[in-house]
Amino acid sequence: MKTKFLFPVIFAFVASIFLSGCGKEGPPGKDGLDGLDGNANVIASQWYTPSVWAGQTGDWYFDISSNAISEDIVESGVILAYCSLPGDIYDAAVRQMPCWAIGANWDFLIPDYGQIEFMSDAINMPGTQGYYFRFILIPASNFLKSSAGNAVTADELRKMSYHEVCTLYGIEE
């Protein structure tokens, strides 16, 4: 008799534990960025303005040091660089480098790991007020992802506008 009474009590107790957790869900989680995961490794620098340009007529440059410009990024990833220049015919334009703007070519190079050099072939030394430069570092594991699940190649990234790249990787413009 004791066994017949304990079995239904134990069964009811265990069933109430399992059933008490059901029927109520928490709030929905935050949506992801167009299905892209793992973009924490994409690095967007701050906007830099040169305090002084080094070089000479037709060969002006300034350097930025960043530990984020690693051997892995340089050899396997994608480095995109942008400029925003005063007097550009496209008001408030952000151009991907290399580009031609305000009568000169603008470009960048990586002279060594941990360093990026922004350059111009302007006849006169470029100014420092209103000249802004930025880089975005995309590891190989990230540039192969797209919101549609298709591969995004390095060439496709280089053809995208600044806005498109920022949108793709959730970068604040």
Q: Is 151 exposed, middle or buried (0-12, 13-18, 19+ CB in 10 A)?
A: exposed
Q: Is the pLDDT assigned to residue 15 strictly greater than 90?
A: no
Per-residue pLDDT tens digits for 91-130 = 568 999 999 999 999 999 999 999 999 999 999 999 999 9
Averaged pLDDT of the chain: 79
Task: Classify residue 85 as exposed, middle or buried by CB count within 10 Å of its CB (0-12, 13-18, 19+).
Answer: buried
- Reading phi first (left if > 0) and then psi (alpha if -120 to 50, else beta), residue 58 is in left
| Cβ contact 76:140 at 8 Å | yes
Output the pTM of the full model.
0.72
In angstroms, the CA 144 to CA 37 distance is 12
The DSSP symbol for 121 reads: -
| Of the candidate ranges 57-66, 79-88, 145-154, 158-167, the one whose mean pLDDT is the lowest | 145-154
Confidence of residue 71 (pLDDT cuts 50, 70, 90): very high
| Over residues 36-49, mean pLDDT | 76
